[in-house]
Copies of this chain bind each other. A is one copy, B any other.
Amino acid sequence: MTIALYDLVGADEARPFSPHCWKIAFALAHKELEFKSMPVRFTEIGKIESGAFKTVPAIRDGERLCVDSFQIALYLEETYPDLPPLFAGEGSKALSRFIEKWAQATLTGYIGPSLVLDVHDALGPADQEYFRGSREKRFGRTLEETARGREERLEGFRASLLPLRLMLSEQQFIGGQRPLFADYIVAGIFQWARVISPFPLLAAEDPVAAWFERCLDLHGGIGRRVPAAC
């Protein structure tokens, strides 16, 4: 049965952009599960599945509902143990949490503020109002002030990717020779940036860029189905 993935979009529903939803799109493709991306806007999340969710990604798999990217990945691993592994063992589940937090602190910590206006500009009017209000409250300043200085902070951001860069000198994926959910945790965030903004996050010659291109090639190029922002 086809799994429904509630997938965040803006004004253009052919361009899902949420990093956490992308983690799950990659994970479902990795598991070779049929799924359908169900476009949802920020202000519609509370209405799907009779108000079952406050956030996306969320999935419906037959009678079962599941929300939160990490919980969904765990659900898929447990429910479909004979399909390609997302974790490959119990230890990797715990260690993937560390990578999630690293990505949150290092990637989202830079990308979130830096691309906040790009996200805003990709939304429809009702979502723009919600987004501006909630994010200006979160950051304690206007979206314009939040994004300011991203060029000056870019060098520091690129330097902060050193752990990934060092690792890529020894293995092709965070998962080793093949990707695991840990790769999608990080690739989902880069895909968010790729879909939402032409801002040059990675230097072309960075091994991290080559790894992300490998992630975009995976599973029939599912990540490339949405062209990069321009």
Binds B, one of A25-33, A60-68, A167-175: A167-175
Hey, what's the 0/1 contact readout for A104-115 against B, CB within 8 Å counting as 1?
111000000000
How far does the alpha carbon of A164 sit from the alpha carbon of B153 in the complex, in Å?
A: 23
Q: How far is the CB of A130 from chain B (nearest CB, A)?
A: 26
Say yes or no for A149: interface residue by CB 8 A criterion: no
- In the complex, the answer to whether A174 meets B101 with C-beta atoms within 8 Å is no
Given known A-B contacts A104-B166, A105-B162, A163-B105, A91 and B85 have beta carbons under 8 A apart = yes
- In the complex, the answer to whether A170 meets B97 with C-beta atoms within 8 Å is yes
- In the complex, the answer to whether B89 meets A182 with C-beta atoms within 8 Å is no
- Which residues of B lie under 8 Å from residue A105 when comparing CB positions? 162-163, 166
Say yes or no for A99: interface residue by CB 8 A criterion: yes
- In the complex, the answer to whether A98 meets B180 with C-beta atoms within 8 Å is no
Given known A-B contacts A89-B92, A163-B106, A175-B91, A98 and B99 have beta carbons under 8 A apart = yes
Which of B91, B93, B97, B174 makes the CB contact (< 8 A) with A98?
B174
Q: How far is the CB of A81 from chain B (nearest CB, A)?
A: 13
How far does the alpha carbon of A3 sit from the alpha carbon of B164 in the complex, in Å?
A: 34
- Which residues of B lie under 8 Å from residue A85 when comparing CB positions? 91
Say yes or no for A6: interface residue by CB 8 A criterion: no
Count the A residues whose beta carbon is within 8 Å of the partner chain — how many?
33
- In the complex, the answer to whether B90 meets A95 with C-beta atoms within 8 Å is no
Say yes or no for A87: interface residue by CB 8 A criterion: yes
Say yes or no for A88: interface residue by CB 8 A criterion: yes
Say yes or no for A94: interface residue by CB 8 A criterion: yes
**Cβ-closest chain B residue relative to A173:** B94
Which of B92, B98, B106, B167 makes the CB contact (< 8 A) with A164?
B98
Given contacts A91-B92, A91-B182, A95-B175, 13 further A-B contacts (CB under 8 A): A87-B91, A88-B90, A88-B92, A89-B90, A89-B92, A91-B175, A97-B170, A98-B99, A98-B164, A98-B182, A101-B162, A101-B163, A102-B163
Q: List 15 A-B contacts (CB under 8 A).
A: A87-B91, A88-B90, A88-B92, A89-B89, A89-B90, A91-B91, A91-B176, A94-B174, A94-B176, A95-B96, A95-B99, A95-B182, A98-B167, A98-B174, A98-B182
